[in-house]
Amino acid sequence: MPILYDNPLSRNGYKARLVASHLGLTLDVVTKDLLAGESRQADFLVKNAAGKVPVLELDDGTCLAESNAIVLFLAEGSELSPAAPLERAQVLRWMFFEQSAVLPTIGTARFLRITGRDKERPDVYAQRIEMAQDSLAALERHFSVHPWAALDRFTIADITLYAYASVAEDAGLDLAAYPAFVAWRKRVQSLPAHVGPNAGF
């Protein structure tokens, strides 16, 4: 059984666990205490030189890091990850958008806020919030005319976007101006195989 090294606070790890739930896959989730530095210890750095979770370890000992790479691997050949080149590119487009415009903005603002660093670096926090609002505006425009991120059906593009989009309020963002975005989140949450962020622990 594949092992997923993860932490309940990691929304990147949540992506992998969401994919597993939607595809009926079983992962052996092993918690790494990030605050205690467990992801920076020598035995873990062999698995991921970047010293971060999540890491997926396969039965043969092969390790795969980076959340969206793990998502692509787990979903390969399934209905969540289309094989046709243009369809696949449309899915990857939104996965790239998540990495460049959602995780660094909503994700970083959330981290600053839950660790109290928003008070220590208010300038950095304000900048991330401003950038996050731009990202949410783009998502609002898209979801105003499309029910899902790519191909007008649920794919791994939605899973990767949802992981950090679902905690926008934790980052300190007011979502009143983004009703289509909020409606999309509710559609994701209403799917039968949807699980919460603590699933698997």
Q: Give 91-112 pLDDT, tens digit per residue.
A: 999 999 999 999 999 999 999 9
The single-letter code of the amino acid at 131 is: M
- In the predicted structure, residue 163 carries a pLDDT above the cut 90: yes
Most confident of 5-9, 31-35, 71-75: 71-75
* Whether pLDDT at 33 is above 90: no
Contact at 8 Å (CB) between 197 and 165?
no
pLDDT of residue 201: 81
Whether 9 shows a pLDDT value over 90: the answer reads no
Nearest residue to 161 via CA among 73, 93, 111, 110: 93
Q: Mean pLDDT, to the nearest integer, of 115-137?
A: 96
Instruction: Tell whether the model's pLDDT for residue 46 goes beyond 90.
Output: yes
What's the pLDDT score for residue 36?
Answer: 84
pLDDT digits (tens, 9 = 90+) for 108-120: 999 999 999 999 9
pTM of the model: 0.94
Q: What is the mean pLDDT of residues 76-93?
A: 97
Q: Which tokens is 100 given?
A: 């460049």
Q: What is the mean pLDDT of the chain?
A: 96
Q: Is the pLDDT of residue 157 over 90?
A: yes
- What is the DSSP pairing of strand 55-57 with strand 63-65? antiparallel
